[in-house]
Amino acid sequence: MLRRFLLATVLTGGFSAAACVAGDVQVWLTTSDGGKALTRQTDLDFSRNSAPRTPNVVNVDPGKRYQEIVGFGAALTDASAILIHNLPASQRDTLLKELFGRENDGLGFSFTRLTMGASDFSTHHYSFDDQPKGAKDPELKSFSIEPNRADMLPVIKAALAVNPDLKVMASPWSAPGWMKSSDSLIQGSLLTAAYPAYADYFRRYIEAYAAEGVPIYALTIQNEPHFEPTDYPGMRVNPQSRAAFIRGWLGPLLARTHPDVRILDWDHNWDEPQSPLTVLADPAAAHYVTGVAWHCYNGTPPAQGVVHDAHPDKETWFTECSGGDWVAAKDALVSSAGTLVETVRYWSKGALLWNLALDEKHGPHLGGCDNCRGVVTIDSASGAITRTVDYYALGHLSRFVAPGAVRIEAGQDPKDLNTVAFRNKDGSTVVVAVNRAQGTRTMTVREGQKTFTYDLPVGGVATFVWH
């Protein structure tokens, strides 16, 4: 079924127009079989009868406002950058306009993530200051972002040319090996003696990227700090060490040199909220921490709410979640879309999926995940682009919820549905609904004295927009 979905969308190029009747509410639908892929449906009319015709009610209240939305998108890994940069120029430009632009039904991605050095989705393992075994460079005399010049920098600069307001965050998978207990990019923990040099490593990265016209909006000090992979860069940094590094070195340095760059803690899964809570319990460290970043691979989204409730002054961000072959094809769409909807309901200002682009073999990669899915698949031989279920899951939010929108009250999720509502700056209201049931779900959306009812197909995702 997923293969049929992908084949259909590569042939149609994504959106498909449908004859629509003008009404109060515009509707876009994607179905798990690929028959509808962000397809415009017949408009709906509001009823002036406020009594719902179904128990599945989404109660929209624009008067109850929550977090402001920065945006949605995916990570520009080395793999993604290589594949996109290697496309013919015209095809590359068209794809970037489709992903990051809003004209001609573009998805309008406004948030992305870069890897500071190699991740598992790189063709070789590197940092920006590698040294021979046993050698050190505490003054960072060898620091250079040269490894990013071939692919990463050209693509992120081209994306910014399409969307100058694109917010760019960055995360390292490892400090340079000489800063670690392992003297290697693989495994190990950050040495206390390396704290000053590692803080300056971030400063130099921010300044080097700024010199290339790429402003860094936010950073985390370590991707997945409780995980030490054996075949690609990683580094263990426990919460006490993160707090010490932030309060003593990185926080004061960036406060002096780059106070506009956010420091986000954690950047790991929902199953250990006590780790960011430990960092935020240190007032000196918490002073420099703007927010907490989350991944989806263990635990559930309510963990975000636990940390938010304890520290409502700190922002919530969702910075990584990958689809892949471990999810049945029939469930892939609702899994991706449902996760995005739920993370926003639990306070995320921005939400990212993992690789923006991968090839037909789920790569290129060196170690790590061998069955991850990109937002688009780019055939390494032909350059053909396939839009995956993650493309459409993101599109149901990113295309309609503009930066600066505010999440508004949508009541409790009806049975077997994930729902979220927004108010854009232009006054439009957006509701996104995901059907996790085993059959069609009839749902009623109510705002004040107005209602409309919609039959959401099994495995379907719908976006409703009205002014």
DSSP characters over 314-354: SEEEEEE--EETTS-GGGHHHHHHHHHHHHHHTTEEEEEEE
68, 139, 146, 320: the catalytic one is: 320
The predicted-structure confidence for 361-370, as pLDDT tens digits, reads as follows 999 999 999 9
Asked whether the beta carbons of 323 and 298 are under 8 A apart, the reply is no
Q: Is the pLDDT of residue 9 over 50?
A: no
| pLDDT of res. 5 | 46
Q: Is the pLDDT of residue 6 over 50?
A: no
Asked whether the beta carbons of 185 and 119 are under 8 A apart, the reply is no
| pLDDT of res. 48 | 74
User: Which residues make up the CATH 3.20.20.80 domain(s) of the chain?
Assistant: 70-400
pLDDT bin (cut points 50, 70, 90) of residue 22 is low
CA angle, 289 as apex, 172 and 240 as ends, to 5°?
75
pLDDT bin (cut points 50, 70, 90) of residue 20 is very low
Cross-strand partners of 373: 323
Q: Is the pLDDT of residue 394 over 80?
A: yes
The arithmetic mean of pLDDT across residues 81-103, rounded, is 97
Q: CB within 8 A of 263, min separation 6: which ones?
A: 218, 219, 220, 221, 246, 250, 251, 254, 288, 289, 290
C-alpha to C-alpha distance for 212 and 171, rounded to whole angstroms: 18
Q: Is the pLDDT of residue 300 over 50?
A: yes
The predicted-structure confidence for 244-290, as pLDDT tens digits, reads as follows 999 999 999 999 999 999 999 999 999 999 999 999 999 999 999 99
The arithmetic mean of pLDDT across residues 60-73, rounded, is 98
Residue 152: what are its φ and ψ, rounded to 5°?
-60, -50
User: Measuring CA to CA, which residue among 113, 114, 363, 120 is closest to residue 229?
Assistant: 120
pLDDT bin (cut points 50, 70, 90) of residue 18 is very low
Q: Is the pLDDT of residue 85 over 90?
A: yes
C-alpha to C-alpha distance for 457 and 29, rounded to whole angstroms: 9
Q: Is the pLDDT of residue 14 over 60?
A: no
CATH architecture of 2-66+408-466: Sandwich (2.60)
Domain 70-400, CATH among 3.20.20.80, 3.40.50.2020, 3.10.180.10, 1.20.1560.10: 3.20.20.80
C-alpha to C-alpha distance for 234 and 218, rounded to whole angstroms: 20
**Burial class of residue 166 (count of CB atoms within 10 Å of its CB; 0-12, 13-18, 19+):** buried
User: Which residues make up the CATH 2.60.40.1180 domain(s) of the chain?
Assistant: 2-66+408-466
320 classed as catalytic: yes
| pLDDT of res. 334 | 96
CA angle, 439 as apex, 386 and 326 as ends, to 5°?
45
User: Measuring CA to CA, which residue among 49, 183, 173 is closest to residue 122?
Assistant: 173
Would the CA dihedral through 149, 150, 155, 157 be positive or negative?
A: positive
| pLDDT of res. 68 | 98
Strands (E), 53-127: 57-68, 71-76, 111-116
Winning range, highest mean pLDDT, from 1-10, 326-335, 385-394: 385-394
98, 224, 315, 447: the catalytic one is: 224
| pLDDT of res. 49 | 66
Q: What is the mean pLDDT of the chain?
A: 94
| pLDDT of res. 272 | 98
